[in-house]
Amino acid sequence: MRYPHLFSRLYNTPLMLHPDKASVIENVFRTYASGLVVDKPEIVAASSYTAPNGTKKPYQVTSGGVGIIPVMGTLVQRASGMDAMSGMTSYSSINNLLDQATADRDVKGILLEVDSLGGEVSGLYDLADAIYAARQAKPVWTIVNEQAYSAGYAIACSAQKLFLPRTAGVGSIGVIALHVDQSKRDTAQGYVYTAIFAGDKKNDFSSHAPLSDSAMADLQAEIDRLRILFVDTVARNRAISPDLVMSTQAGTMNPQQAVDDGFADGIATMQETIAMLEAEVQVKPLKPAQFGATRKETRMSTNQESALISAETQAAINQARTEGHRAGAAAERERIGAILQSEESQGREAMAQTFALETDMDAATAKKLLAKSPAAAQKPTGNTDFNQAMANVTNPKIGADGNGAGEQELSPEAQAEAMALRILGAGKKVLLK
C-alpha cells in the first residue's frame, strides 16, 4: 500500500473530527493512494507579519497589543505533505506560537482564531492544557471564525472567553474511529493476504480482514475512554457540568444554543472580539494631576476606613466593659454572700464583715481565717444576780501604749477584730481604740 504512514493515521485510530471532514480527508487520501496525483504539493511556509512597531512576528499583532494565533484546517500532531489539499495545522506549531506570544512583550493579550472541523487525538490534550495554563500569564480568548468542532472546539474552549459570529458553529464533542475492510476488493482483484502473527490481537485491525468482535470491543472501549477525557476537559475549561457536556451526544450547536448552555460567552464578529480584548488589556497611564488626585482619594479612603475601624473597635470595647461590669458585680455579690452567710462567720460577724466588705479576699480564704479565729463569747441573758453584779464592774481602759495591758486582755470579739486589722494592715502599726 502507498503512504502506509498516512493510512495508519487515518484508519483504526481515534479521531476527533466532524464526520464531514473525515470524509473529505479520506477522499483526498484515496486520490493519493490511487496514484492519480503524481506531483508533491508544496508545503506552505509559515506566515510572517509586521507588528505595529516594525518588528517581524510569526503571528499578527494588532495596534492594541492583541496577538492573533490561527488554528485552521485539520489538526494533527505533526504536519505532512497533504497540507495543500486538505489544509492541516499541527499542534506543535500552535504550541510554539503560543509560547512566543506569551513571552512577547508586544503582545498584551492572545486571540485564538479557530476555523477547524477537528483532527487527531494525539497531542491535542497537551496543547489544551498549555492554553489553559497560558491564561495565568496573559488574557487568552477565542474567536470561532467560523467553525470549531471536535478537536477544534477542545482548543477553542481552553481559552478564558469564547466568542463566535451569528453564522458560526461549535460542538461535536465526541470521538470517532474508522476501519476499512477491503477483503472483498482483494478477492475481486485476485489477492489473498495471509497474516502470520503472534498474539491473538496482533492482527485485529488489518484492512485485509473484517473487524473481529473482540477488536471492535477494544476499539469501542478506547473511544469511550477518550470521550470521557474530552468531556472532562470541556467541563474544566468552561466551568460547566460534565453531565451537561455529555448530554450533547456529540451534536453541534448554533451560536445562541452555545451561549445559552455555557459553551460560549457571546456572539460577536472577529473585529468586535478584537476590540473587546484590546480594551481588556489596555493600560491607560495616569497624568501627574490624576495621579495626585488618586493618591489623595486613596489616603482619604484609608482614613475613613481607619475611623470606621476605630468606631467599631470602641463599640466592641464598650460592650465588653458593660458585660464585664455586670459579670463582676454578680461575682462580687456572690463572694460577699458566701462569706457573711457562712458557718464560719457565726460569732465572728465583725471579722466576716471586714473580710467581705473591705477586702477582695475570696470566700474560701476568708472562711479558713474565720475558722481559725476565736468566736465572740455569748452575752448572758436574763436578770440574774451575776448579771447585775457584772453590770456594776467597769471595763479596763486601754491606751495607745496599752498601760501594761496586752492584747490578751481584750475580749474575744476584740481579739478577732485586732487579728483582722493586722491582716489588712499588712505589717503596718495598728492602733486600737
Q: Which residues contact 377 (CB under 8 A, 6 or more apart)?
A: 411, 412, 413
Question: How many angstroms from the chain centroid is the CA of residue 175?
Answer: 31
- End-to-end CA distance of the chain: give it in Å, rounded: 132
Q: How far apart are the C-alpha atoms of 253 and 58, rounded to whole Å?
A: 32
The domain made up of 4-281 has a fold known as 2-enoyl-CoA Hydratase; Chain A, domain 1 (3.90.226)
Residues of the chain with pLDDT under 50: 37-46, 82-85, 286-302, 305, 308, 393, 397-407, 426-433
Residue 61 Cα to chain centre, angstroms: 33
116 in helix, strand or coil? strand
> Residue 225's pLDDT is what?
95
Whether residue 94 contacts residue 152, with contact meaning beta carbons closer than 8 Å, is answered with no
Residues facing 398 on adjacent strands: none
* Domains of the chain, residue spans: 4-281, 330-379+400-433
Which DSSP string corresponds to 244-299?
HHHHTTT-EE-HHHHHHTTS-SEE--HHHHHHHHHHHH---PPPHHHHHHHHHHHH
CA angle 390, 395, 397 (to 5 degrees): 170
pTM of the predicted protein model: 0.57
What does the radius of gyration of the chain's CA atoms come to, in whole angstroms?
48
Q: Which residue has the cell 463582676?
A: 328
